[in-house]
């Protein structure tokens, strides 16, 4: 079951840019979203957290994407964006968005369907 809707993936050359988006269902209040983030599953590797934005606006990035990737969130649209600049071949992978959502006093994880990012000549 897909809870979050992703878009924005594609094929780009090294040094190029992409912007991924991740939209939560409209019936979920933005207030209920504790955090949103992006995982990446590179070929032959396990899925790992790349970046996360908290409800406070604080962001976390793994070292390899710092200065190149930027998270933002539009609370009115229940949408998170990942601006990816200066893309490298090692950024290639399937990107999955995730959200922590409060439900009856408990955090529950929601996931997107994944969007493919290929950085190649």
| Segment 25-66, tens digit of pLDDT | 888 888 889 999 999 999 899 999 999 999 888 999 999 999
Residue with tokens 């998170």: 80
Mean pLDDT of the chain: 94
pLDDT band at residue 76 under the 50/70/90 scheme: confident
Neighbours of 59 (CB within 10 A): 17
Query: How far, rounded to the nearest angstrom, does the alpha carbon of residue 26 sit from its chain's CA centroid?
Result: 18
Neighbours of 86 (CB within 10 A): 13
Q: What is the pLDDT of residue 23?
A: 94
Residue with tokens 């290929």: 118
Q: Which of 1, 19, 6 is nearest to 98 (CA)?
A: 6
Furthest C-alpha separation in the chain = 48
pLDDT band at residue 104 under the 50/70/90 scheme: confident
Q: What is the pLDDT of residue 103?
A: 85
Look at residue 117 and tell me whether its pLDDT is greater than 60. Answer: yes
Which positions ≥6 away from 1 have C-beta within 8 Å?
Answer: none
Percent of the chain with pLDDT over 70: 98
């Amino acid at each position: 079951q897909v809870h979050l809707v992703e878009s924005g993936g594609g094929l780009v050359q090294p040094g190029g840019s992409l912007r991924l988006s991740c939209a939560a269902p409209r019936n979920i209040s933005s207030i209920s979203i504790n955090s949103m983030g992006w995982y990446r599953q590179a070929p032959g590797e396990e899925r790992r957290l790349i970046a996360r934005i908290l409800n406070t606006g604080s962001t976390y990035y793994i070292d390899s994407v710092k200065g190149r990737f930027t998270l933002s969130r539009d609370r009115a649209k229940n949408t998170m964006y990942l601006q990816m600049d200066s893309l490298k071949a090692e950024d290639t992978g399937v990107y999955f968005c995730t959200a922590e959502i409060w439900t009856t006093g408990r955090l529950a994880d929601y996931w997107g369907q994944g969007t493919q990012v290929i950085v190649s000549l």
